[in-house]
Amino acid sequence: MRQQGFNLIEIMFALLLLGLVISVSVETSSGDFASYNRMKDTTLARWVAFNQIAAVQTGKGFPATGKSEGVAEMGEGAWQWQQEILATPDPDLRKVKVSVFREGQAQQILAVEVAYVANPQPKMRSQGQ
């Protein structure tokens, strides 16, 4: 009479293959989750930067050069931003640079956005310039 079923070596080999497949899939999915969180944080940080730039662009008057910082709520967390308004070679144009990071984590900048703001009332220049 012939025996039916699997022997111990076949079962051990199948379990080894199953373990390898499971470990690879867990490693891949945990990497995907970390990537998703990083992408979500970067997107939220960029929105904070864009909101700050929009506030400067829609503010009254021509912004003065200098640095400022603040905190904004976006998503489920608090974000800290640092803004720098710089002069450009054109006196009627300012460069606005906003850096955003998680509150209390200034060493890990998640987004940097740059925009330009034109003087709404440009100075009249003489024809010789």
List pLDDT tens digits, range 86-128.
Answer: 999 999 999 999 999 998 887 899 999 999 999 988 876 655 5
Positions of E strands within 22-121:
66-74, 77-87, 93-102, 109-118
Q: What is the pLDDT of the chain when averaged over all its residues? A: 87
Rounded to an integer, the average pLDDT of 30-36 is: 79
pTM of the complete model:
0.71
User: What does the pLDDT read at residue 33?
Assistant: 80
User: What does the pLDDT read at residue 64?
Assistant: 93
Say which CATH topology domain 8-118 has.
Answer: Pantoate--beta-alanine Ligase; Chain: A,domain 2 (3.30.1300)
| Biggest alpha carbon–alpha carbon distance for the chain | 110
* CA-closest candidate to residue 83, choices 50, 44, 40: 50
Q: Helix or strand or coil: residue 61? A: coil
